[in-house]
Structure 1
Amino acid sequence: MTNIPETGRTPRVQIRLVIIQVLVCSLLLTLGGRLWYLQIRNGHEYADAAKNNHVQRVVQPAVRGSVLDARGVPIADNETRLVVSASRTELMKIKDRGKAVLTRLAGVLDMKPQDVMDKVRLCDSQTPKPCWNGSPYQPIPVTLEATTQQALQIRERPEDFPGITAEPTAVRRYPAPGAARAAQVLGYLSPVTDEEIQKAKDTDSPHLRSDQVGRSGLERTYDKELRGKAAVTSYEVDNLGRVMGQTESDPGVAGSTLVTSIDARVQAVAEYELQQAMKTVRNETDNITGRKYEADSGAVVVMETKTGRVVAMASQPDYDPNAWVGGISGSDYATLTSKNSNYPLLNRAIQGQAPAGSIFKVVSASAAVRAGYDFDDKYNCSASYNMGGRSFANFESKGHGPITLGDALKFSCNTVFYALGHKEWQRDGGLEPKKDAHDWFYRTAREFGFGSETGIDLPNEVTGRIPDRQWKKSFWEANKASWCKQGKKGGTYVEQIAYENCLEGNQLKAFDSINFAIGQGDVLVTPIQMATAYSAISNGGTLHDPTVGKAVISPDGKIEVIKPKPHGMLPIDAQTISNLDKGLRSVVEPGGTAAWRFGGWPLDKIPMRAKTGTAQVYGKQTTSWLATYTDDFAIVMTISQAGTGSGASGPAVRNIYNAMYGLDMEGNQDLKKALLPAPQAELPEVQPDGTIEAPTITPYVPPSPKDVPALAGPPAPPPGRQD
C-alpha cells in the first residue's frame, strides 16, 4: 500500500494555533484594560463603595448589677426610662454640624437650645460642665426623663431629627431606702473614655464605647463585676445600609449583684444622727472663740468588731448620687466641687484627716507598757506639766493626783501622757537620738495601723500621718525653702514657727513627743483607722481589712463570698488588751468623761466601752471625737469644729446604739424594735434565677425630745468631764 504524504494538514493546524494565540492575547489585553480601568481610572470610586460595604456592630449594653444591703434591700439598682440620645458622629455630617437639629430637639424636650448643645459637646481642660467625657462615637444622652409624647414626636419625624434616638433604656438609680443615701459609699457612674478603652483593650475586662464605669465608691471597686458584658451582634451591610447577613453574635452577660454588709436601716440612723448632731451643736457657743460652732463636716463608722465588716458609713456634707445619672448638670457639678459646699464628694470616713485628740491615748498607754511602765502603777495627774519653761495644761487645768493608766483613760488625763511621752523621748536620746532608739510611741502607733491604709474595699483611702523622726526629716527637706522664705524671727506666730522650722524643722523635739502622746501636733488619723483599731481591742487584738462588699452573686445564682481578711495583730499582749478594755469601760461609768452621755446604759447586759476626744487644730475650733465599742460593734464619730467629744458626738452615738439594740434612755430593751442587736451573718436568700426578694424598710423615726431628756437640751456636764 502506497503512503500518501499529509502536506495539506500542517498549514491548517498552524493557522488554527495562530488564531487561538490572537484570541488569547486579545482576551488578555481586554482583561488588562478592564483591570486598569477599574483599579486605576475609577479605582477611588470603587474603593469608596467598598468602604461602605462593611461590618456594623450593634451593641446592647448589659444591665448593670444591683448593689444590695445585708438583708437584700437595693441601695443601687436600675429602672427603665425613655432616653433621648444624640449621635455626635451623625450630627457632624450635617452642614451646620447639627445646630438646627438640636434646636428643634430642645423645643420638643422643653429645654433651652444651649443646654442641649452643652450636653453633646466634648469635655476638655477648657470646657466647663456640663459636657460629654465619654467616647465621641457613642450616643450621648440628652435627657433620661422624656415623656411618651416627646419620644413619639422624635420617632415619627426621623427626617427632622437625624442622629437622634428615643428609646427605653435601663438607667442607674439610687433609691435611698428609708432615706439611707450612702452617697460616698456607693459612688457614681460616668461614660468610659477613649483612654480607658485603650488601656483595658488587652485585659480580661475590655470596655465598649457604650459602657458606663464606676468613678468612686463601690461602683468603682466592683465595676468589673457589676458591669457585666454587653451583647454584640455584627452585621455585614452595604453602602445603603442594607443588611447583607449576620457575621457574628455574642449574647453578653448581665452584671452580677453585689451584696454589702451595709444595713440600710442602721445607715439611715447614722446619717440622720450625724447630721442632727451637727445642726444641734451649731446653735451652741464655743467658750474659746465666743462664736457659734461651725460644725462644717463630720463622719461616722459602724463596724462589726469581729470581722471588720462595715454596717454603716456616713459622711457630711453628702449629696444625691442620682445627680450623676445621665450626665451631671453644670450647677450640680459646681456645687459638688465647690469650696463653699465643703466638697461633699469626699468620703470623710476614709479621706477625712484630723488630729486624734484623746482617743489616741489607747495607743500611748500601750506604748508605755511596751516601754516597761506598769499599767497599774501610779502616775501623777497634775493640773499641768512643765517642760523647758513651757507649761502644758491638763484639760480644764484639773488634776487628779496619782492614778493608774486605766484611770488616765477614764479621766482623760493629759499630763500623765505628757510625762510618759517626754521621758521616752529623753530615753531615746532627745535631739541626738541613739542608734538603737526604740521610739515606742511612734512604733506602736504604726503597728496599730496608723500612718497607713486599712485596706478597705473603697477607692482613694488616705493614710493619715505619724510624724516620727523619718517623717520630720522628709517633711523638712520638702518645705525648708518655703519656711526660710516665710519665716521671721520675732514675727507673727506663723512667721516665728516658719523661722524655727527653717532652722531645725528636721529635729524631733521634746514638745513633738509630748503632743504626740495625746494625739496632737502633726499626727493625723481617719475615722476608719480608729474604728479598725478599737474593733481590734474589742475582739482580742486582730486588725481586719474593713470591708463593705460581702458577696458577689452572678446572674445564674452562683455566690462568691467576700471573706473577712485580717492584716495583723495589735502589738500588745492579752493582759494589756484586757487592761485597756477595763479602762475604756470606766469612761462610761460614774466619773468617766462619757458617763453623762451613757446614763442608764445596761452595762450588765451589753458591755459598753468608750473614749472621748477633743482635738485642737490651728486656726479652727476643736474637733469632736468619740470612739466606742460593744462585744459586737464599734462606732466612731467625728465632727470638725464642734467642740468636745462627749458634748457634740455623744448623743448621736448613743441614739445609734439605742436604735440597733432596741433600747430606750433608761436602758430597757425591746428586741422587736431592735434594728440589729447582733451582726447579720446570713446572706439574703437567693432565688433559682439569681434574684433576691427584698424586705421592706421604713424610714427612721428619731426619738422625740420629750422622751429623751438629754436631747431636749443637753445637761451641763460635770467639770472636767467633756474631753
Structure 2
Amino acid sequence: MRRAPRDTEATARSVTRRALLMGGGMAAMVAALGARMRFLGVEQADQFRLLAEENRINIRLIPPARGLIQDRNGKLIAGNEQNYRVVITRENAGKTDAEVEDVLNRLSNIIPMTAQDLADAMKELNPRVNSAFVPITVAERLSWTDFSKIAINAPALPGVSPEVGLSRVYPRDVDFAHVVGYVGPVSEKDLSELKEKEGAENVDPLLMIPRFQIGKIGVEKWMEDTLRGSAGTKRIEVNAVGRVMRELDREEGLKGKDLRLTIDADVQNFVQARLGEESAACVVMDVNNGDIIAAVSSPSFDPNLFVRGISSADYAALTEHDHRPLANKVVQGAYPPGSTFKMVTALAALEAGVIDENTNVRCPGFIEVGGIRFNCWKRGGHGAVNLKRALSESCDVFFYDVSQKAGIDIMAEMGHKLGLGQRHDLPMSAISAGTMPNKAWKQEKYQKAWVIGDTINASIGQGYVLATPLQLAVMASRIAAGRQVAPRIIHSVNDIEVPVAEAEGLGVDGSKLRAVQMGMFEVMNGAHGTGRGSRIADDTMLMCGKSGTAQVRNFSEAEKLTGARKNESLPWRMRDHALFVGFAPANAPRYAVSVVVEHGGGGSAVAGPIARDALLRALTGGIPPISAYPTNQHESIKNMLNDLRLRLPDGSQPEASKV
C-alpha cells in the first residue's frame, strides 16, 4: 500500500534531523578530540617531553670551586686540588639492599675498601637517610690507576660513576691551622643550625649533597658564605640500567670568592718555629691600621688530616695532649695578665689625677691592708719609686698603693679603653672576651661586694682579671698609637680591599700616655729594666715593653714568709705563666707584640726573647741580623738562629733586608 505523500515528507524530515544531530555530534567529538590532541601535543609538549626524559635524563648539582685563601702577599694558604672519586646512585644500583650491597662488593674487589667503608656506604645509601636520586661518594682521593679501573669496569657496576672533583688542601699545614681552620662534611648539627638561622627553605641545596664539605672552624667557618660560591648544574643521559651514557649540557656555578688575609705567611712561619714545642701564643699587630701580621698558637696540628678524615689514633693524640694543640690560645686562652697590666693601672691613676709622673711611693717590700700582707716580688723592697722606675723595675707596691687611690671602676674603664674585657670581632672561633672586672661585675657574678684586696690583686693583673693574647696585643697597640686601633684579619675579598675606619683617639691625655711609654722604654733599655736582657741593640729599632709573670697557684703560708718556690722545682702545670707585651720602633711605633707561654716561668727570661725575635722578623723582613742583638748575646743568638733555620722550610725565610 502506498504511503501518503504527507507521511513520506514527515519521515524524510525526521531522518534529516537525526542525520544532522548525529553529524553534529560526531563533528563536535572530532573537534573536541582535535582540541585535546592540540592541547596535549602542542601546549603540553614540554611537560610530556620532560616526563619522558625523566626516564633517561638526570640533573645533578655541580659543586663550585671553593674560594682561595692567601696571605697578605698573595701566598697560598688554602687551595683546591684534583680529587679522583667514585660515586654511586641508589636508584640505579638496585632496587633492594642486597643488589646494592652486591654492587659495593664488586667495587671493593677493584679498589681498596674496608669493611667499615662498605658499612658507611650502605648507611648513606639508605633511602631513609638520603634520597635514592642523590649520588653518594663512597671513595675519594683515588690514584689514577684505581680511577681508571673503575672506568674500565663500568658496565659491571650499575649506578657507579667515576668523577673528578676538587678537594681542599692546606699547603702550609700547621702554620695556619688555628687561624684558617679546616673544612669537613656537613653534619646534622650543621644543618639544624642553618635551618634555625636561615629557615629550612633557604638552606643551600649544596649542603644536602652527602659528604659536601664546609668550614668547621676559623676563617673557613666564619667566611663560609663568601668562600662557598653557588652550584652549577649538568644534565646527563643514562641508559635503562642507569649507566651514564653522555653529558648533554652543563651550566657552571659561581666560584667562591678569594680572600686575602692581613697575615704575613713568612712571619707566621717564623714565629711558629720560634715557639717550638712550648704551649704558647704570639700575636704581631700593625699599630697603625690593626692588621694582624702573625697570630700563632702552639703547638699546632695539620688541618689536612681533618679534610681527609682523621683517624681515631691521630684525633686521640691531639685531644689527650696536655699542651692542647686543638685550642686557639690566641683568642680562646684567657690568662691573668700579670705585670703587663700595670700600664692600665698607671694610666687609670694618672687620668684620675691621684698621681703624676713624679709621684713617689715608698716600697719596703710589702704593704699590709686589713691584716693581710701583699708582697712585692723584691723581698727587700725598692725604696722610693716614681712611675717610670715602678714600671722599669716592676715594683708591685707602687701599683698596690695607687690602685687604692684610683679604685677598680676607673681601672676597669681604662682597661676597656685599651681593649681588655671585650670580644674583638674577627672571623675566628670561640673568641673569649676575657674579664675586666669592676664592683658591679662581682656583685652580679658572685653576689658579693668588692673589697680592697680585690683591687690590689687586680692592680698587678691577678685576681679576677683575665686577658687573651689578642687583647694584650691590642692593648700594646693602643698604648703605642694613642688611638683605638681595632684588630682585623681580612685584608681583601676578590682583591677589593676591606675598608679600614679611621681609629678614634683613646681619650687619654697625651703627656700621660707618653709617661707610660717612657716607663716601657726604660723596662727594655734602662740600666735596671727588668726586660733589658731582651732588648734590641739597633738604635733604629729600639723597643718598648713590659714583662709579666702570672701566678697560677696559691702560695703556702711558708712561701708567703720565705718566698715562692722556683718554677723549675714545680710540676709543669703549677709553674707561672710567662707574658710579654711591647712595640717597636720606640720613636715611631709600627708593630706591637704579645706573647704568652703557658707555665713558662719568668716573663722577662722566657716570653721577652720570643717577643723581640717576632718584632725583629716583622721589622727587618727576614731572619733577624745578629747586629740587632746585644754584643754579649751574639754567640747564643747565632746558635739559636741556626737551629731555627733547620726547622724552617728551605727558602721560606730570606735574610733580613734591613741590617
Cα distance in 1 for residues equivalent to 2:276 and 2:118: 36
| CA pair 91-355 structure 1, distance change in 2 beyond 3 A | farther
* Counterpart in the other structure of 1:513: 455
Encode CA deviations 1:77-127: one digit per residue, 9 max, x unaligned. Answer: 11113223455676684423844444444443334222453477469xxxx
Cα distance in 2 for residues equivalent to 1:162 and 1:474: 66
* Counterpart in the other structure of 2:176: 182
* Counterpart in the other structure of 1:597: 534
TM-score of the superposed pair, with normalisation by structure 2: 0.78
Q: Identify the match of residue 560 of structure 1 among 487, 496, 511.
A: 496
Moved more, 247-256 or 438-447: 247-256
Question: Is the Cα contact below 8 Å between 1:134 and 1:192 reproduced in 2?
Answer: no
Q: C-alpha displacement at 1:358, in angstroms?
A: 0.5
* Counterpart in the other structure of 1:195: 192
| CA pair 171-96 structure 1, distance change in 2 beyond 3 A | same
Q: C-alpha displacement at 1:26, in angstroms?
A: 10
Question: Is the Cα contact below 8 Å between 1:180 and 1:265 reproduced in 2?
Answer: no
* Counterpart in the other structure of 1:209: 208
Question: Is the Cα contact below 8 Å between 2:84 and 2:165 reproduced in 1?
Answer: yes
Question: Is the Cα contact below 8 Å between 1:60 and 1:230 reproduced in 2?
Answer: yes
Cα distance in 2 for residues equivalent to 1:135 and 1:384: 73
Alignment of 1:581 with 2:517, yes or no, is yes
Cα distance in 2 for residues equivalent to 1:12 and 1:118: 79
| CA pair 142-16 structure 1, distance change in 2 beyond 3 A | closer
| CA pair 249-700 structure 1, distance change in 2 beyond 3 A | closer
Encode CA deviations 1:32-57: one digit per residue, 9 max, x unaligned. Answer: xxxxxxxxxxxxxx9xx889559742
Q: Identify the match of residue 79 of structure 1 among 78, 81, 89.
A: 81
* Counterpart in the other structure of 2:639: none
Q: C-alpha displacement at 1:417, in angstroms?
A: 0.8
5 Å matches for 1:689-704?
A: 698-700=651-653
* Counterpart in the other structure of 2:394: 412
Give SS of 1:576's match: helix
Q: Identify the match of residue 474 of structure 1 among 433, 436, 444.
A: 444
Q: Identify the match of residue 171 of structure 1 among 152, 167, 175.
A: 167
Alignment of 1:609 with 2:544, yes or no, is yes
Question: Is the Cα contact below 8 Å between 1:200 and 1:207 reproduced in 2?
Answer: no
Give SS of 1:96's match: helix
Unaligned runs of 5+ in 1: 32-45, 124-132, 279-296, 426-437, 478-505, 554-558, 670-695, 704-723
The residue identity in structure 2 corresponding to 1:560 is: I
Alignment of 1:345 with 2:280, yes or no, is no
Unaligned runs of 5+ in 2: 35-47, 555-573, 631-648
The residue identity in structure 2 corresponding to 1:274 is: L
Encode CA deviations 1:347-381: one digit per residue, 9 max, x unaligned. Answer: 11011111100001111101111221212211223
Cα distance in 2 for residues equivalent to 1:399 and 1:234: 82
Q: Identify the match of residue 576 of structure 2 among 598, 622, 633.
A: 622
Give SS of 1:385's match: strand
Cα distance in 1 for residues equivalent to 2:293 and 2:131: 37
Question: Is the Cα contact below 8 Å between 1:367 and 1:440 reproduced in 2?
Answer: yes
Q: C-alpha displacement at 1:628, in angstroms?
A: 1.4
Cα distance in 1 for residues equivalent to 2:136 and 2:17: 75
Question: Is the Cα contact below 8 Å between 1:375 and 1:405 reproduced in 2?
Answer: yes
Question: Is the Cα contact below 8 Å between 1:626 and 1:636 reproduced in 2?
Answer: yes
| CA pair 244-185 structure 1, distance change in 2 beyond 3 A | closer
The residue identity in structure 1 corresponding to 2:167 is: V
Q: C-alpha displacement at 1:585, in angstroms?
A: 0.7
Q: Identify the match of residue 65 of structure 1 among 64, 67, 76.
A: 67
Q: C-alpha displacement at 1:699, in angstroms?
A: 3.4
| CA pair 652-159 structure 1, distance change in 2 beyond 3 A | same
Moved more, 410-419 or 456-465: 456-465
Question: Is the Cα contact below 8 Å between 2:581 and 2:592 reproduced in 1?
Answer: yes
| Larger relative contact order, structure 1 or 2 (CA cutoff 8 Å, min sep 6) | 1
Cα distance in 2 for residues equivalent to 1:238 and 1:121: 26
The residue identity in structure 2 corresponding to 1:570 is: L
Alignment of 1:655 with 2:652, yes or no, is no
Cα distance in 1 for residues equivalent to 2:475 and 2:244: 64
Cα distance in 2 for residues equivalent to 1:516 and 1:266: 34
| CA pair 325-85 structure 1, distance change in 2 beyond 3 A | farther
Q: C-alpha displacement at 1:567, in angstroms?
A: 6.3
Question: Is the Cα contact below 8 Å between 1:197 and 1:206 reproduced in 2?
Answer: no
RMSD: 3.8
* Counterpart in the other structure of 2:146: 150
Q: C-alpha displacement at 1:565, in angstroms?
A: 3.6
5 Å matches for 1:35-74?
A: 56-74=58-76
| CA pair 534-113 structure 1, distance change in 2 beyond 3 A | same
Q: C-alpha displacement at 1:231, in angstroms?
A: 1.3
* Counterpart in the other structure of 2:643: none
Cα distance in 1 for residues equivalent to 2:394 and 2:132: 60
TM-score of the superposed pair, with normalisation by structure 1: 0.72
Cα distance in 1 for residues equivalent to 2:528 and 2:603: 16
Give SS of 2:611's match: helix
Moved more, 63-72 or 14-23: 14-23
* Counterpart in the other structure of 1:39: none
* Counterpart in the other structure of 1:664: 625
The residue identity in structure 2 corresponding to 1:305 is: V
Moved more, 655-664 or 199-208: 199-208
Which structure shows the higher helix fraction?
Answer: 2
Question: Is the Cα contact below 8 Å between 2:174 and 2:303 reproduced in 1?
Answer: no
Cα distance in 2 for residues equivalent to 1:359 and 1:152: 62
| CA pair 202-27 structure 1, distance change in 2 beyond 3 A | closer
Encode CA deviations 1:445-482: one digit per residue, 9 max, x unaligned. Answer: 122221111222324311001222222122225xxxxx
Q: C-alpha displacement at 1:260, in angstroms?
A: 1.3
